[in-house]
Amino acid sequence: MKHLKRFFRSPVVAILGLGLIVTAVTVHGIPYAIAMHANYSREGTSATTSLAAKFLPPAPAKLDTAHYDERLLAMANYASTTSTSTVRKWPVQTAYPKVGAILPMKRIVAYYGNFYSTKMGILGEFEPDVVLQRLRGEKAKWEAADPKTPVVMAIDYIAMTAQESPGPKGYYRLRMPDEHIEKAFTMAGQVDGIVILEVQAGLAPLQAEVESLETYLTRPNGNLAIDPEFNMKGGEEPGTVIGTVSAGDINRASAYLARLVQEHDLPPKVLVIHRFTQRMVTDYALIETRPEVQIIMVMDGWGPPAKKINTYKSFIAPEPVQFTGFKIFYKNDMKPPSDRLLQPADLLKLTPRPMFIQYQ
């Protein structure tokens, strides 16, 4: 050390020595500078390499495209006896999703409703602990019926409800208070699930209503649903006629969600669209798919099993977009002449198999 001290007493030598260290750091990077002090190896592993790894960003995750394709084919669910000449609309050929997508590797099972109402779904009928207990039960049923497809639970909350009264702006809709939406997120967090925020726009501008939820949609587990039944483009009061959305409406919402995913580095969003008539969704072939958004067209009609399955085969399966869903009404589906609810085994026979199951 004494020799080094004498060596660095010369200003010129000291400056040259400092310059060499700076060059090592700036030109070769921090790991190279570390290597000047740790140059040994143990059992064939360079200490320089292990130290350098601490300073390098992790390799980006990659989608297992082979597994994704395999799950899509399982979802399409064509029988082995299906003729090769049969036109197969499923699965839909789209770009691979961004890493973190739920579908089709997992199925979403959701409980639907509004905390103000006992008639709009199970979320408003029972206390949260009872709701979550029952939701766990439905999850177990689906995983027993389809063991290869894990279930993600969801709280599907109507964040904007269509109303009979016009309200101060004449929009015939009511936005739910923030504390109710936070309650939905709290419940989802208790089951490691996601939240889906439903929009019944009434006469309000649909896209503005969607974007008013941005605070929640920028959360990793915050997702969106649009109910065309209550999107009243003709100026009618909600409930007097069935509303509608166009491909353009869906594309605007999807593009907006995609931007949020990109800007905030989020996993892909789920976008649920309800449907039980032809006119509820127009120009389906023009609906755009994106790596950042997974679009689900859900059969939302109620009635006996045969009627519901026929609606699915008439309006959902023949007009493929990306993924499909199926809604079960605990009460309305049991109105005469119905004598039972559809079960997982029934829905798993469909082509394609629904990857989103909603219970009201």
**Residue pLDDT tens, the chain, 360 long:** 444 444 444 444 444 444 444 344 343 443 333 333 333 333 444 444 454 555 666 667 889 999 999 999 999 998 876 666 678 899 998 999 999 999 999 999 999 999 999 888 999 999 999 999 999 999 999 999 999 999 999 999 999 999 999 999 999 999 999 999 999 999 999 999 999 999 999 999 999 999 999 999 999 999 999 999 999 998 899 989 999 999 999 999 999 999 999 999 999 999 999 999 999 999 999 999 999 999 999 999 999 999 999 999 999 999 999 999 999 999 999 999 999 999 999 999 999 999 999 999
Tell me if 59 is assigned to some domain.
no
- Please check whether residues 158 and 266 belong to one and the same domain: yes
Tokens of residue 257, six digits? 């969600």
Last residue of a domain, one of 15, 31, 53: 53
Tell me if 246 is assigned to some domain.
yes
CA angle (68, 71, 77) in 5-degree steps: 145
**Residue reference for tokens 């709280």:** 155
Alpha-carbon distances of 326 from 91, 211, 251, 336, rounded to whole Å: 17, 26, 22, 20
Q: Distance (Å, rounded) from C-alpha 72 to C-alpha 28?
A: 46
Q: pLDDT value at position 86?
A: 73
Among candidate residues 138, 59, 146, 145, the one with its CA nearest the CA of residue 105: 146
Residue span of the structural domain in which 98 resides: 65-359
Last residue of a domain, one of 10, 32, 53: 53
- Please check whether residues 44 and 88 belong to one and the same domain: no
CATH number at residue 86: 3.20.20
Q: Distance (Å, rounded) from C-alpha 320 to C-alpha 89?
A: 7
Among candidate residues 89, 67, 94, the one with its CA nearest the CA of residue 149: 67
- Please check whether residues 298 and 260 belong to one and the same domain: yes
- Please check whether residues 38 and 136 belong to one and the same domain: no
- Please check whether residues 70 and 49 belong to one and the same domain: no
- Please check whether residues 36 and 176 belong to one and the same domain: no
Q: pLDDT value at position 54?
A: 59
Tell me if 304 is assigned to some domain.
yes
Q: pLDDT value at position 80?
A: 73
Q: pLDDT value at position 274?
A: 97
| Structural domain total, the chain | 2
- Please check whether residues 173 and 27 belong to one and the same domain: no
- Please check whether residues 35 and 86 belong to one and the same domain: no
- Please check whether residues 31 and 72 belong to one and the same domain: no
- Please check whether residues 288 and 157 belong to one and the same domain: yes
- Please check whether residues 251 and 341 belong to one and the same domain: yes
- Please check whether residues 119 and 181 belong to one and the same domain: yes
Whole-model pTM over 0.95: no
Tell me if 58 is assigned to some domain.
no
